[in-house]
Amino acid sequence: MFYDCFTKNHYKMPTYSISVLKHQQRADEKYPVSIRVTHDRKSSYLKTDYYVVTQQLNKNFEVKDKVLLKLLLEKIEDYEDIVVKGLGNDVVNYSAKDIVEFIKKKQKEVSCIDFISFARKHVDKLFREGRDKRAKHIQTTINALVDFSGVELNIAKVTSNFLKRFEEFLRSERTIVRVNQFGRNVTTKRKPLTDTGVHDYMADIRAVFNESIDFYNDDELGDPVIKHYPFRKFEMVKPNPPKKRNIYLENIRKIMNLENGLKRHDLARDVFMLSFFLVGINTVDMFKVPYSSRKKGRIIYQRSKTKDRREDNAEISIKIEPEVERLMKKYVDPDKVRLFSFYKLYSDSSAFNNAVNKGFKRVLQEVNENMEIPM
């Protein structure tokens, strides 16, 4: 499918087509979507932020998803406007590659910066860096922003008043649509966020906005692309005080001696005791820490939550006490890839953490302990 463009004077303009190439399939079986720019019988490509699966393509490997098709055609129209307004008749002196570079340059101007698109690229970068938890948190925030503003958002529209309206949206009961693991749309209702929830979402938006300033603005050259900063006037709500997280010694003994027989219940009990004996190791690290981290009666690992923020990479060394040996043997990885075998039971650390949290709620009920413990 392509989009031809001629002017009234009939000087030849580039043509644009939606391109999906078979050899570019990723490990997750998705294909990147590009826009092919053809001029004087030569082509160059502009990457988009969109990916498709086989079900969204026809037998000729063309995009058939109507919603995505509409978005891509709108993007092509944007490219056409950039070229017509920016180059005009001079386009005859440009190659396809030159035109692509011209479009890229113009897109860096504030009027062309899509905040949603930039945020998604930032999330992808975090995933590549192995900062999955942070990436997923920001991804959730951006999904809420899309619910509020739509799939595209000019960064110039992200003002203090916009943030106030977004906060009002987060504090309201809202209906959202998400795609489940089977590719189907699922509609659910979300409760209003608390002060803590609103604070966390706004902190994510601020972090991404700061990243966009670092990316587009060059302080040394002056004349910044992004000239406004909405958080200067927007007052961030303070999070709620943290809930009680201490637990009485007698209840630790009760948890240690609980026998229920239910798989999730026993898993939660064991993970809690592992965390207790191993000085607060969290579920993400339990899930990921390699087998080689056990050395001479100690566990030496880098805490995932803070390793990117500390010069020592948040290295932690814990003595393995006799009381924890039984549990470590119970969950040892027979393949000696990771310290514990949890990765064989759950798809990722989030699924593992969710299972533990659900089981631990039952554990706390049995010991009559009213509290929350971050695992």
Q: Is 6 exposed, middle or buried (0-12, 13-18, 19+ CB in 10 A)?
A: exposed
Any idea what DSSP says for residue 63? B
Longest dimension (CA), the chain: 87
Helix (H) / strand (E) element for 27: namely: none
Q: What is the pLDDT of residues 108-121, one digit of tens each?
A: 676 678 999 999 99
Lowest average pLDDT, out of 32-36, 85-89, 241-245, 273-277, goes to 241-245
pLDDT band at 138 (very low <50, low <70, confident <90, very high): very high
Rounded to 5°, the CA angle 206-207-212 comes to 95
pLDDT of residue 302: 86
pLDDT (0 to 100) of residue 370: 54
How much of the chain exceeds pLDDT 70, in percent? 88
pTM of this structure = 0.56
* pLDDT beyond 70 at 44: yes
Per-residue pLDDT band for 7 (boundaries 50, 70, 90) equals very low
What is residue 294's predicted lDDT score, i.e. its pLDDT?
Answer: 92
The Cα angle at residue 360 between residues 200 and 247, in degrees rounded to 5: 80
Q: What is the pLDDT of residues 298-329, one digit of tens each?
A: 999 988 765 555 454 568 899 999 889 999 99
For position 372, what pLDDT does the model report? 53
CA–CA separation, 269 and 258 (whole Å): 8
pLDDT at 4: 45
- AA identity, residue 236: M
Q: What is the pLDDT of residue 313?
A: 54
The pLDDT value recorded for residue 211 is 95
Q: Quick one: average pLDDT of 41-47?
A: 92
Q: 215-229, 247-261, 278-292 — which one is most confidently predicted on average?
A: 278-292
What's the confidence (pLDDT) of residue 311? 53
Looking at the predicted structure, is the pLDDT value of residue 142 above 60?
yes
Kindly report, residue by residue over 200-214, the tens digit of the pLDDT: 999 999 999 999 999
For the chain, the distance separating the N- and C-terminal CA atoms, rounded to the nearest angstrom, is: 50
- 3-state SS, residue 84: helix
pLDDT above 50 (res 90): yes
CA separation for the pair 66, 73 (Å, rounded): 10
Can you give the pLDDT at residue 6?
Answer: 41
Calculate the CA dihedral of residues 161, 163, 167, 169 and round it to 10 degrees: 80
Two tokens at 189? Answer: 């209702």
